[in-house]
Amino acid sequence: MKNKVIEVRNLNFENVLKDISLNIFEGDFVAIIGPNGGGKSTFIKLLLGIYESSSGHIKLLNKNQIGYVPQNVTNIDIIFPATVDEIIKTAFAYRNSFFKKISIEENAYITYLMNQFDISNLKNKLIAELSGGQKQRVMIVRALANKPKLLILDEPNIGLDTISQEKFISCLKEINEKNKTTILFVTHHLEPLKECLTKTFTIITPPTKYHKNQAA
């Protein structure tokens, strides 16, 4: 029997979300869909503890086992003097003296991901010098770097060109299948994901109605 990764029961938040319940299991690839302003990003922030629910129950993995790419990361004004390589390696910041403890294998995996997303040539660039699309790819690589058991992505393909999107989806499919990584993907467009998905959840806000579709 698969381990439960996320459990939500009777979740309510102000007038945005009402009586949301769902279970997500190890190895699931799940899409969260719904209209603009429908509460998708709010739901993600509730899962991560960024917002506090009005009522209900949320249970999920230890946050050290979660990778997260927020919405509109391309609009973040990152002004501190950190390189792309340093930003990516903050994925291991939960360790003490984390730069010293990144293994040969972990560095190799970071290199692989940077090649996948065509940012190897940006390794020593300051993050503030990058374009919006380049920042997006850096933050995606950062989220994947420590091989999280749960990967939460809030419209992560915004700002990516078609080739980068295809590589991204292919990489997600690979880590989902090989590593049994559970993936929660907020999106407006199911078409690029249709071959990957195990479940689709639709969130509609008030009067909030919630239902689950099993993907074919």
Counting the structural domains of the chain, the total is 1
Per-residue model confidence as pLDDT tens digits over 177-214: 988 899 999 988 888 888 889 888 888 665 444 344 44
Per-residue model confidence as pLDDT tens digits over 128-172: 888 878 888 898 899 999 889 999 999 887 767 788 788 888 888
Distances (CA, A) of 191 to 31, 54, 117: 11, 34, 21
Give first-to-last CA distance, the chain, whole Å. Answer: 21
Query: The domain containing residue 93 runs over which residues?
Result: 4-214
| CA pair distance 187, 174, nearest whole angstrom | 19
| CA pair distance 132, 25, nearest whole angstrom | 33
Please give, one letter per residue, the 3-state secondary structure of 33-97.
ECCCCCCHHHHHHHHCCCCCCCEEEEEECCHHHEEEECCCHHHCCCCCCCEHHHHHHHHHCCCCC
What is the reported pLDDT for 211? 42
Average pLDDT in the chain: 83
Report the CATH number that the domain containing residue 86 is assigned in CATH: 3.40.50.300
